[in-house]
Amino acid sequence: MRKPILIAAPLLIIVAGAILFITTRPGDETVAAYGGSDKTWVLAEIGSMDVAPDATLSFAEPGRITGTAPCNSYSATMSVPYPWFEATEIVVTRMACPELAAERAFLDALAAAAYSEVLDDTLVLSNDDGPLLVFKAGD
């Protein structure tokens, strides 16, 4: 009577692994594969600022993030596994606008982020000092 149980357990593990593979981005272990992809994340809170500037973040393809800051668009490399977060090689267009200070604060917080957490329609980027950026899923 133990044989059906011994056969069923490995089969269950294989099925669970297949479901996980299908529902995530193959080869991508970043936050994008854990609920971050297929959304444009809109900045809702930034550190201690009273009002969050207009900014977005998207996981355009495995290992890349793109978005808009208050004045410019940006892109960066992001390849660390979830729940870690590390935006490197950040490239920003160079247009001037009155919100450059808010843009600098946003990009500095993005570069300082070390952890990510996706909770339904909320993406939180933080480091050891606490939350830095809070995004809400946009349309």
Residue 27, pLDDT score: 60
Give the tens place of pLDDT for each residue, 32-80: 777 778 889 999 999 877 778 899 999 988 899 999 999 999 999 998 9
Q: What are phi and psi for residue 51, nearest 5 degrees?
A: -125, 130
Residues in the chain: 139
Count other C-beta atoms under 10 Å from residue 128's C-beta: 6
Give the tens place of pLDDT for each residue, 86-113: 999 999 999 999 999 999 999 999 999 9
Tell me how far apart the alpha carbons of residues 110 and 135 are, in angstroms, rounded to a whole number: 12
- For residues 98 and 122, the answer to whether their CB atoms sit within 8 Å is no
Give the tens place of pLDDT for each residue, 3-24: 555 454 443 344 344 334 434 4
> 28-137: what CATH class?
mainly beta
Residue 56, pLDDT score: 96
